[in-house]
């Protein structure tokens, strides 16, 4: 009974702290390739309760070395192995700047729940269902940690017309021609890390963690509470 309760609490707490972590990174980037996902999960790890941290550690694969952050790009790395999961990384809308779950959460085949919001809901529920899990809990944990990061990249919740900014061509600082989606996914965070953090991911992560507990502490409590659930939380 205690183990089941710990697992349920871990699922809920993990979503909360991941949400705080990704919103806290907003001044730098919403990103995310490997560096961005690593930072989101590294920050989240620091906010886990001891009970939730122990539950997470028990679920981590051996290759993670006991570190949740080491697994947070796994969902991108394994797209070829799980081709059906591609639609779970984003939730595009027709262009009216509004997301309606029943209308918008589907893949190109029209299959329901196949978007990033559906992925978060489903893998949270899977982690909390400790009596008869339908999905390997380790897989659920790694998908969930990744998707909560993805949903906070603005162009992972973008426009169907331009495929989340992938067809919008832009020029970055070095005059390289690229697309707007890539700028958010990779270029902003790399530029910020180089210009402000000595090109050191650990320094950037530490500064953000410090700001969460100091300069942004009051804001952090509001982010975690998620009081405006209809607009800010990943609910159906």
Question: pLDDT by residue (tens digit) across 192-204?
Answer: 999 999 999 999 9
> Between these two residues, 233 and 85, which has the higher pLDDT value?
85
Check residues 218 and 229 and name the one with the higher pLDDT. 218
Fold type of domain 2-232:
P1 Nuclease (1.10.575)
pLDDT confidence of residue 10: 56
Q: How is 15-61 classified by DSSP, letter by letter? A: HHHHHHHHHHTTTT----SHHHHHHHHHHHHHHS-HHHHHHHHHHS-
Give the range among 2-11, 18-27, 66-75 with minimum mean pLDDT. 18-27
Angstrom distances, CA of residue 109 to CA of 92, 93, 113, 199: 14, 16, 12, 42
Whether the Cβ atoms of residue 147 and residue 121 lie closer than 8 Å to each other: no
How does DSSP classify residue 88? Answer: G
- For residues 219 and 90, what is the distance between their CA atoms, to the nearest angstrom? 26
Average pLDDT of the residues in 229-236: 50
| Domain ranges for the chain | 2-232
Cα separation values, 143 from 73, 87, 94, 196, Å: 9, 13, 26, 30
* Residues contacting residue 197 through CB under 8 Å, at least 6 positions apart: 203, 204, 207
E strands within 104-217? 169-171, 177-179
Inform me whether the pLDDT recorded for 229 exceeds 60: no
Query: Per residue in 67-122, pLDDT tens?
Result: 999 999 999 999 999 999 999 999 999 877 788 999 999 999 999 999 999 999 99
Written as six digits, the tokens of 195 are 């210009």
d(Cα 14, Cα 46) in Å, to the nearest integer?
11
Residue 135 in this model has a pLDDT that exceeds 70: yes
Query: Residue 158: pLDDT band by 50, 70, 90 thresholds?
Result: confident
- Which whole-number Å values give the CA distances from 185 to 8, 69, 166, 200, in the listed order? 31, 17, 11, 18
Going 49 to 218 to 41 to 139, the CA torsion angle's sign is positive
Rounded distance between C-alpha atoms, residue 221 and residue 227, angstroms? 10
Number of Cβ within a 10 Å radius of residue 70: 16
- Sign of the torsion angle spanned by Cα atoms 71, 216, 26, 174: negative
What is the arithmetic mean of pLDDT over 163-177?
A: 87
pLDDT of 29: 34
12: pLDDT strictly greater than 60: no
């Amino acid at each position: 009974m205690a183990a089941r309760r710990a697992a349920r609490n871990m699922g809920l707490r993990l979503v909360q702290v991941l949400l705080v972590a990704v919103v806290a990174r907003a001044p730098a980037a919403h990103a995310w390739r490997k560096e961005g996902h690593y930072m989101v999960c590294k920050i989240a790890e620091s906010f886990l309760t001891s009970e939730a941290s122990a539950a997470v550690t028990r679920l981590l694969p051996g290759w993670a070395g006991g570190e949740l952050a080491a697994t947070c790009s796994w969902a991108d790395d394994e797209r070829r192995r799980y081709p059906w999961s591609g639609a779970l990384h984003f939730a595009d809308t027709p262009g009216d700047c509004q997301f309606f779950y029943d209308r918008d959460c589907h893949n190109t085949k029209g299959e329901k729940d196949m978007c990033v919001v559906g992925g978060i809901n489903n893998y949270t529920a899977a982690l909390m269902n400790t009596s008869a899990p339908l999905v390997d809990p380790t897989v659920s944990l790694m998908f969930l940690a990744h998707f909560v990061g993805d949903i906070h990249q603005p162009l992972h919740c973008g426009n169907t017309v331009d495929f989340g900014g992938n067809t919008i061509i832009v020029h970055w600082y070095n005059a390289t021609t690229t697309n707007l989606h890539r700028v958010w996914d990779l270029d902003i965070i790399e530029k910020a890390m180089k210009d402000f953090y000595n090109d050191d991911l650990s320094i950037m992560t530490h500064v953000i963690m410090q700001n969460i507990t100091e300069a942004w502490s009051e804001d952090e409590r509001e982010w975690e509470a998620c009081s405006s659930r209809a607009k800010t939380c990943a609910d159906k």
